[in-house]
Amino acid sequence: MKNIIIFGAPGSGKGTYSDEIVARYGMGHISTGDVLRSEIKGGTELGKIAKGYIDNGQLIPDELMIDILAKTYDALPAGQGVIFDGFPRTIPQAEALKKMLAERGHELGIMLELIVDEETLMARLLNRAKEQGRADDNEETIKKRFAVYHKQTEPLAEWFQQEGIRNTFTWKGSKELMLSEIFAFLDTQK
Ligand code: ATP
Ligand code: MG
């Protein structure tokens, strides 16, 4: 499979659909949120820095994220395609990803944009708070994350549009429906 960038607001289902896509097409998966949470759990220097930003609903500085991303990408087996989940989140991150891939003779591939209304997002994140107890899944921090998303991340959709790789999928109340639309599209892309 080509590389895939899965893009959407907090709680839009990036991680959930990524797992399904990996199961169907057998590719690598980089979730920057998961990478950061495991650094925090391990009590590393990076984890300590990341925690301050995450708990406050803010983004980790671009230079740090770009460095982490390149290291994680290079540790995966080449040639199977990778799904990028949670990266890029800013225009500099997108430019850096494009450059990093080009330096390796690889391409951005396909961008999948998930559109979900904010009421559904909030309900999902509050439910996840109960199930997984993530420190940033509380109403106050979620609101900050939505604001950061609108300001810093959403404008990137237009960047992908310019690259000619933006593909939008809108939530219509059913995960199965969303998945079947995504798979129907990806089946044409292999
Ligand atoms: P979802 O629920 O769809 O998985 P999310 O936005 O809730 O999305 P993560 O992608 O797991 O969650 O990210 C959690 C936090 O980690 C972000 O709020 C941010 O602080 C930090 N983070 C993750 N990826 C990046 C990135 N590319 N750049 C900067 N910060 C990031
Ligand atoms: Mg996630």
Residues 129-175 pLDDT 10s: 999 999 999 999 999 999 999 999 999 999 999 999 999 999 999 99
What's the rounded mean pLDDT across residues 57-63? 98
For residues 4 and 25, give the distance between their C-alpha atoms in angstroms, rounded to a whole number: 11
104 carries an active-site annotation:
no
Distance of CA 112 to the CA centre of its chain: 10
CATH of domain 4-180: 3.40.50.300
| Mean pLDDT over each residue of the chain, to the nearest integer | 97
Q: Provide the pLDDT for residue 169.
A: 98
What's the rounded mean pLDDT across residues 100-126? 97
Q: Does the structure show a pLDDT above 90 at 56?
A: yes
Q: Does the structure show a pLDDT above 90 at 190?
A: no
Q: Which of 106, 37, 43 is nearest to 68 (CA)?
A: 37
Of the bound ligands, which one is closest to the alpha carbon of residue 14?
Answer: 1
- Catalytic residue (choose from 51, 124, 145, 166): 145
Q: Provide the pLDDT for residue 59.
A: 98
Residue 75's φ and ψ, nearest 5 degrees, are -85, -10
For residues 23 and 117, give the distance between their C-alpha atoms in angstroms, rounded to a whole number: 27
Q: Which of 43, 51, 5, 3 is nearest to 27 (CA)?
A: 3
- Catalytic residue (choose from 51, 89, 124, 166): 89
Q: Hey, whose CA ends up nearest to atom 5 of ligand 1?
A: 10
Ligand 1 pocket test target in 17, 29, 37, 54 with most atoms within 8 Å of CB? 54
Q: Does the structure show a pLDDT above 90 at 79?
A: no
Q: Which of 182, 186, 140, 161 is nearest to 12 (CA)?
A: 182
In single-letter form, the type of residue at position 160 comes to F
Ligand 2 centre distance from Cα of residue 80 (Å): 21
Structure tokens at 122: 């909030």
Q: Is 92 in the pocket of ligand 1 (CB under 6 A)?
A: no
For residues 73 and 23, give the distance between their C-alpha atoms in angstroms, rounded to a whole number: 19
Q: Is 183 in the pocket of ligand 1 (CB under 6 A)?
A: no
In single-letter form, the type of residue at position 161 comes to Q
Q: Is 53 in the pocket of ligand 1 (CB under 6 A)?
A: yes
Q: Provide the pLDDT for residue 92.
A: 98
